[in-house]
């Protein structure tokens, strides 16, 4: 965010000053050439003074440059605090002491540090500019009182030098005042290049080369998958796996378990957004790697627990799906709240349950072979829970889609082909509900974690 707001603006402002810098540099060069024509000895002396001023200014500007770099780093912290303020506003309003501490120790402190670094940097730039102005007036004094006596200059040469030097005052002032803008842009450009280099280090997706082999979903296999991360609240490492699972078309699978058992982490590994430390994921017998991961991701339609809802049908041909979208709006009882115009929703000011239904509509339109729902029914009224489990999921299954639903609604477990139970990152049981055609298999496959 800071790259897009602060850095790009700084670079753009510097680019706007470039024509003035080039023009005034040309004017100063022409003036110096004219002064050399009047008296090359004096021109050499003045050139030496100007060179001394440029070198000393280059040394002085390193001090504000460091301050501007620190200010830019503090701006990242300030942006993070603004994000915490907007996203944590409910928690802050509910706790006055937390609000006061956050404002004083985090937001206000970061803003004060940013202001201090910027003020220090700009102040040093001002002092550097005044040093240049001092040298300029010293040069005028030399022309008026020293050079005529020392070099026995006639009045015409003296008047010529004074006239040109006074004319040069405005171009020199413009050049020196442009230095803070250029310095800030230089810091911003380094930040943008650093971001670009970090993006270039990521492998370039080349999944389309083998996309044809995944055109028809036949099987998905997780083989000895493990994933580790640190739980800060519990101050311990959590390990998911090893996980061994197989999925096939037309299968409805429920993933159940307590909070913190690893359900969402397993789903993120399955869809390819998390990368496993060990093990392999094979789609149609082909291993998923960095080279084809982008193509692998295109096989999934997901409604996350912390989903984001866009205000339009991006990625769709609005003319082709508009009628289907309106039909889904009616089936999900959203047609009295939301309408569509040119592929855009009329409003997103909905309850959380209604927003989730709208996200479900978009996932239906995506028509992917594999669907993942993370606690979709948690914010729904009983009637929509019933609709989701008894109508919408069976309808997807009838279209030969594979569905993985993370859920706690045990009253609907009998509708699944399998119920996978997680505990502390391990599969401890797989249930085949009795009402399912696979009931010939024992109801629970116990001790599966021990076998793995």
Measured CA to CA in angstroms, residue 318 lies from 47, 321, 341, 363 at distances of 67, 5, 9, 15
Domains 2-200 and 212-309+348-451 share a fold: no
Q: May I ask the CATH architecture of the domain 2-200?
A: Up-down Bundle (1.20)
Every domain of the chain and the residues it spans: 2-200, 212-309+348-451
Partnered with residue 431 across adjacent β-strands are: 419, 444
- In percent, the amount of the chain with pLDDT more than 70 equals 90
Catalogue the long-range contacts made by 308-316 (C-beta closer than 8 Å, 24 or more residues apart): 309/348, 309/355, 309/358, 309/359, 309/362, 310/362, 311/344, 311/345, 311/348, 312/343, 312/344, 312/345, 313/340, 313/343, 313/344, 313/362, 313/365, 315/366, 316/343, 316/365
Give the orientation angle of helix 108-141 with respect to helix 62-87, to 10 degrees. 160
pLDDT band, very low/low/confident/very high, at 214 (cuts 50, 70, 90): confident
Identify the pLDDT of residue 207: 43
- In percent, the amount of the chain with pLDDT more than 90 equals 12
- pLDDT higher for 17 or 203? 17
Whether residue 267 is predicted with pLDDT greater than 50 in this model: the reply is: yes
Identify the pLDDT of residue 254: 93
Whether residue 353 is predicted with pLDDT greater than 90 in this model: the reply is: no
Identify the pLDDT of residue 401: 93
- pLDDT higher for 434 or 35? 35
The tens digit of pLDDT for each residue in 409-421 reads: 888 888 999 999 9
Identify the pLDDT of residue 23: 92
Identify the pLDDT of residue 451: 38
- pLDDT higher for 142 or 388? 388
The tens digit of pLDDT for each residue in 8-30 reads: 888 888 888 889 889 988 998 88
Whether residue 333 is predicted with pLDDT greater than 90 in this model: the reply is: no
Identify the pLDDT of residue 282: 92
Identify the pLDDT of residue 165: 77
Identify the pLDDT of residue 323: 83
The tens digit of pLDDT for each residue in 355-374 reads: 888 888 888 888 889 999 99
| Strand boundaries in 274-341, DSSP class E | 278-283, 286-287, 300-303, 340-341
Instruction: State which fold the 212-309+348-451 domain adopts.
Output: Rossmann fold (3.40.50)
Identify the pLDDT of residue 203: 57
pTM (two decimals): 0.62
DSSP string computed for 139-200: HHHIIIIIHHHHTT--HHHHHHHHHHHHHHHHHHHHHHHHHHHHHHHHHHHHHHHHHHHHHH
pLDDT band, very low/low/confident/very high, at 152 (cuts 50, 70, 90): low
Whether residue 212 is predicted with pLDDT greater than 80 in this model: the reply is: no
Identify the pLDDT of residue 450: 38
Find the mean pLDDT for residues 247-276.
Answer: 90
- pLDDT higher for 294 or 269? 269
Identify the pLDDT of residue 439: 37
Whether residue 257 is predicted with pLDDT greater than 70 in this model: the reply is: yes
Find the mean pLDDT for residues 433-442.
Answer: 48
Identify the pLDDT of residue 7: 83
The tens digit of pLDDT for each residue in 27-69 reads: 988 888 888 887 777 777 777 777 777 777 767 767 777 888 8
Find the mean pLDDT for residues 423-431.
Answer: 85
pLDDT band, very low/low/confident/very high, at 236 (cuts 50, 70, 90): low
Whether residue 292 is predicted with pLDDT greater than 80 in this model: the reply is: yes
Identify the pLDDT of residue 221: 92
Q: For residues 26 and 171, what is the distance between their CA atoms, to the nearest angstrom?
A: 9
């Amino acid at each position: 965010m800071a790259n897009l707001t602060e850095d790009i603006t700084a670079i753009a402002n510097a680019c706007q000053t470039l024509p003035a810098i080039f023009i005034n540099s040309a004017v100063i060069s022409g003036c110096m050439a004219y002064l050399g024509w009047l008296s090359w000895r004096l021109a050499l002396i003045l050139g030496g003074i100007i060179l001394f001023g440029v070198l000393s200014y280059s040394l002085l500007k390193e001090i504000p440059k460091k301050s501007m770099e620190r200010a830019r780093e503090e701006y990242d912290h300030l942006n993070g605090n603004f994000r915490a303020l907007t996203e944590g506003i409910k928690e802050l309003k509910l706790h006055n002491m937390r609000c006061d501490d956050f404002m004083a120790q985090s937001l206000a402190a970061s803003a004060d540090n940013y202001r201090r670094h910027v003020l220090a940097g700009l102040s040093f730039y001002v002092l550097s500019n005044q040093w240049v102005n001092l040298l300029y007036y010293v040069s005028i004094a030399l022309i008026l009182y020293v050079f005529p006596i020392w070099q026995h200059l006639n009045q015409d040469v003296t008047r010529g030098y004074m006239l040109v030097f006074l004319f040069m005052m405005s171009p020199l002032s413009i050049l020196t005042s442009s230095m803070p803008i250029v310095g800030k842009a230089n810091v911003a450009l380094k930040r943008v290049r650093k971001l670009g280099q970090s993006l270039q280090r990521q492998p370039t997706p080349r999944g389309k080369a083998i996309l044809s082999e995944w055109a028809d979903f036949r099987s998905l296999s997780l083989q000895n998958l493990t994933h580790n991360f640190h739980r800060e609240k519990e101050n311990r490492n959590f390990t998911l796996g090893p996980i061994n699972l197989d999925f096939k078309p037309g299968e409805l699978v429920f993933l159940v378990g307590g909070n913190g058992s690893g359900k969402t982490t397993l789903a993120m590994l399955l869809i390819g957004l998390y990368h496993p430390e060990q093990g392999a994921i094979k789609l149609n017998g082909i291993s998923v790697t960095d080279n084809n991961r982008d193509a692998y991701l295109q096989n999934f339609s997901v409604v996350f627990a912390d989903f984001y809802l866009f205000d339009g049908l991006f990625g769709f041909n609005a003319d082709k799906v508009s009628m289907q979208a309106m039909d889904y709006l009616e089936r999900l009882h959203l047609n009295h709240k939301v309408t569509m115009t040119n592929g855009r929703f009329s409003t997103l000011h909905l309850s959380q349950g209604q927003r989730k239904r709208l996200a479900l509509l978009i996932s239906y339109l995506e028509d992917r072979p594999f669907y993942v729902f993370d606690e979709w029914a948690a914010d729904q009224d009983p009637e929509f829970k019933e609709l989701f489990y008894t109508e919408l999921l069976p309808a997807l299954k009838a279209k030969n889609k594979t569905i993985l639903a993370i859920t706690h609604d045990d009253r609907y477990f009998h509708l699944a082909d399998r119920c996978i139970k997680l505990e502390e990152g391990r599969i401890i049981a797989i249930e085949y509900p009795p009402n399912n055609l696979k009931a010939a298999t024992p109801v629970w496959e116990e001790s599966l974690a021990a076998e793995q």
